[in-house]
Structure 1
């Protein structure tokens, strides 16, 4: 859908009368107390499988119970989520040989590398290196970066994002400026593994990645978590990781290639993978341990159709202890996502105070979002309440701390009929809906709503826009960019007493009214006819 057609669709949403919606009692004290507590050093960054998890899930369950919810996991507050933790021992290198000169990349400075395989020792020796462009295999688009090349046992070097990410509009085979799932690093490693690659290394670039290499280092070093799998992920590549753009430039130069020219070639349909004439070697040891993490689940049972469910979700976890900055090694995750968890608890209080809706409302605080949406993915694969009977809902990943806004942005607009609900509820509180300002960052694929979308459940994901009441779009852009550059996945994401929660109250009021409208109606909003999740939703509803 083009930008203009999305705007037209949103305009049509407003042709119906906007109902007068009740103002919910969103407790600012709850937002402050819970955010401050969860993001305190005492909780050690809330990494799954640590004492920080024990404290976090205990607090959330206690607040759910105090709010008036019922235990939502078969009479318990917790859904067990079996996991395995893999910690690569530091000091490994990526050594490229066979070119004009050997190139050795240093851990954390030039690259990071890890593995999904549950193995104590990983070794890749003299693996042929192949540049596969954006690493996309999209038959429906007639695009295959792996066409005509066998990469089994080899190392693939991959560009981040989609081939058309630099397009200024939303027109293009991969959505133009808007990232598709083909652009996400998770997809690129998945496809490399399907192709049989022994190693897969992504070239980092700040703009298309949407964050600096410091975020890669903080997120990819230390314990890495996966859902426990019977095969120990033996079907995955041995080594996966990132290298900086400067490091990649050196590697390509050693192969007699210019990285900029290769990037340009990879954007053109029909691009053919390029063997670089290099060999890669790396080896490292891992510590592994199995652990049990938990989703926290509360429910407000419906009074008429209790077997139909509206879902509200937020992730409680963060990175735990991470790469130190100025001696601070705790990634507290105050905004991301202690604030969203506090918002979920505030919504539980407001809904319980209002009393049961016709449908049941499920409050789901999930684990291990930061490790690849693992907790929500586990719930979606092992639902406590049938997904075919789950109407839809809202995911919270950060609650505004910058004050009230005149607008709202929907992440992934045009995908589902829930856009209409968001637009209507926003208009009722005098907010307009504006296009997503940075669609190239792929936020639609980066939070827990995506786990449910993949299995057909429409989930809204929105936030206040950049047009702040205090400071307008200039201040909105400035504070957003400052957070991403300095605080995202860094120890400095800490709680501050002077945060302005009025914007958070706006977001949560909108969420409350949307959820109550869904819960008090008999409607079943669906995906748009062209959405990639429409078929699975229709199938799940038919088999309900």
Structure 2
């Protein structure tokens, strides 16, 4: 079917001008996508780690592609590069300490001091995401197992404001279905943070001689000698402490936490930015991060993380969008295309970009982020380990709940592609990479995603597992969405007071 001249009439609270669907030759598109992903996920870029030579090489390659397409630099020079200052450092495990105390009804007070790691089965672990020292003292409040559930009418984090939220590990008497995402520490921490807690302290019993650390803690403890990367002068993040002690969690009345870093160095990365002007000085930002995880420590067989889906697919899709947009008659708003650095280290490139936009903030209408658009995947992580096959045409479109007009915009785009697109409003993008900083800046935001799979952040995320027919359809979806966004006559409002009661959280 020839879609080149379809005219769509939308009945909604806002109107659009006439829309022409863009369709590229499928074979050419797939060949280009394959070639770009093959290079990005191949040995010449060895995992695209940032900061470092392979990350720099990737940035310059993307800039070269922008130039070949004929794009215009959006940062005032001929190199497309926006320098992002970064710092690196190591957690000083010898100086990082916790002091916790009890105040029991019998009047027996106990104070324990532990350094990082375990000694005789007791001690603590903390894995900071931010390179910001911390020296804090606060009261502690016992918060059960850290469960929040409207269905169970339960909120373990009531009245925790300003206190250390101390929780027992596990889910207690609940079933996994009842506990849902609160089986996992990061979701407990997010709920404690939202409730105003100073930190989350998850208490485990001491480890016996033949007992192993929980897998996630064991994995993270093995990475403690890998440098952390951050933006300069970043505020400390929300601390999550894993405490192994014979003291009962409910007896802990106070926490003193000291986090120290060493071997600090200054470095930099690069966002790669191009502009495609429209008829009016307003812009839609479309982006994808180009960095990945670099080399595989101690594994000669798997020398590096390929990152074919995460996120060579997104960068290849971004380049294809740029090719299409450069060739079309651009009416309405323009585009700003961005390949972000240091997403894997905490969205550092996109955070810097949001604070250093190449155009006035009021000229930015919306943002579309492409992250992992190349696989047959599931809508949530729970299904990944099941013995089932994913819907080969599943796609997720997560959007700012604070901008309900985005749902109408997405609806007008999704019926034009051969995908089963689920539209999901979210209150925040804390699990969606570079979409997060834009949403936090009250910019209406959409994240496009092809689904979860078992090769996430694994050396096995390789090009042979990508579905390029589906990936081409994801590019078509992005094109259709950008077409509607650039042509929308009315502004897209962002009202932080609009929230969904039960947002979809993929876990």
Same fold (TM > 0.5): yes
Pick aligned residue for 1:62 from 61, 64, 68: 64
Q: Which residue of structure 2 aligns with residue 81 of structure 1?
A: 84
Pick aligned residue for 2:364 from 390, 400, 418: 390
Between the aligned partners of 1:502 and 1:352, the Cα distance in structure 2 is 23
Verify the 8 A CA contact 1:411 1:444 in the aligned structure 2. no
In the alignment, structure 2 segments of 5+ residues that lack a partner are 1-9, 102-109, 205-214, 378-390, 501-507
Question: How much has 1:341 moved relative to structure 2?
Answer: 1.0
Question: How much has 1:359 moved relative to structure 2?
Answer: 2.0
1:134-159: CA deviation from partner (whole Å, max 9, x where unpaired): 8899xxx99894847865xx796698
Verify the 8 A CA contact 1:39 1:495 in the aligned structure 2. yes
Pick aligned residue for 1:292 from 268, 281, 303: 268
Moved more, 39-48 or 383-392: 39-48
Question: How much has 1:225 moved relative to structure 2?
Answer: 1.4
Counting only pairs closer than 5 Å after superposition, residues 259-298 of structure 1 correspond to structure 2 as 274-276=250-252, 286-298=262-274
Judged with a 3 Å threshold, the aligned counterparts in structure 2 of structure 1 residues 281 and 383 are, in CA distance, closer, same or farther, namely closer
2:439 corresponds to 1:458: no
2:478 corresponds to 1:511: yes
Judged with a 3 Å threshold, the aligned counterparts in structure 2 of structure 1 residues 236 and 135 are, in CA distance, closer, same or farther, namely farther
Normalized per residue, the structure richer in helix is 1
Verify the 8 A CA contact 1:160 1:203 in the aligned structure 2. no
Verify the 8 A CA contact 1:100 1:256 in the aligned structure 2. no
2:298 corresponds to 1:320: no
- Alignment coverage as a number of residue pairs: 442
Counting only pairs closer than 5 Å after superposition, residues 353-392 of structure 1 correspond to structure 2 as 353-392=327-366
Q: Which residue of structure 1 aligns with residue 417 of structure 2?
A: 429
Moved more, 411-420 or 27-36: 411-420
2:405 corresponds to 1:411: no
Query: Secondary structure of the residue that 2:338 maps to in structure 1?
Result: strand
Between the aligned partners of 1:165 and 1:29, the Cα distance in structure 2 is 48
Query: Secondary structure of the residue that 1:328 maps to in structure 2?
Result: coil
Between the aligned partners of 2:144 and 2:336, the Cα distance in structure 1 is 42
Q: Which residue of structure 2 aligns with residue 225 of structure 1?
A: 229
Q: Which residue of structure 2 aligns with residue 4 of structure 1?
A: none
Verify the 8 A CA contact 2:273 2:339 in the aligned structure 1. yes
Between the aligned partners of 1:384 and 1:347, the Cα distance in structure 2 is 20
Verify the 8 A CA contact 2:22 2:479 in the aligned structure 1. no
Verify the 8 A CA contact 1:94 1:281 in the aligned structure 2. yes
Between the aligned partners of 1:97 and 1:379, the Cα distance in structure 2 is 40
Query: Secondary structure of the residue that 2:127 maps to in structure 1?
Result: strand
CA RMSD of the aligned region, Å? 5.0
2:425 corresponds to 1:449: no
Question: How much has 1:20 moved relative to structure 2?
Answer: 6.9
Question: How much has 1:522 moved relative to structure 2?
Answer: 2.9
Q: Which residue of structure 2 aligns with residue 3 of structure 1?
A: none
Between the aligned partners of 2:499 and 2:351, the Cα distance in structure 1 is 18
In the alignment, structure 1 segments of 5+ residues that lack a partner are 1-10, 170-175, 205-210, 258-273, 466-479, 534-544
Between the aligned partners of 1:131 and 1:329, the Cα distance in structure 2 is 45
Query: Secondary structure of the residue that 1:320 maps to in structure 2?
Result: coil
1:74-108: CA deviation from partner (whole Å, max 9, x where unpaired): 2340112111112236789978887899998459x
Q: Which residue of structure 2 aligns with residue 500 of structure 1?
A: 467
Counting only pairs closer than 5 Å after superposition, residues 475-486 of structure 1 correspond to structure 2 as 480=452, 483-484=453-454
Between the aligned partners of 1:367 and 1:216, the Cα distance in structure 2 is 23
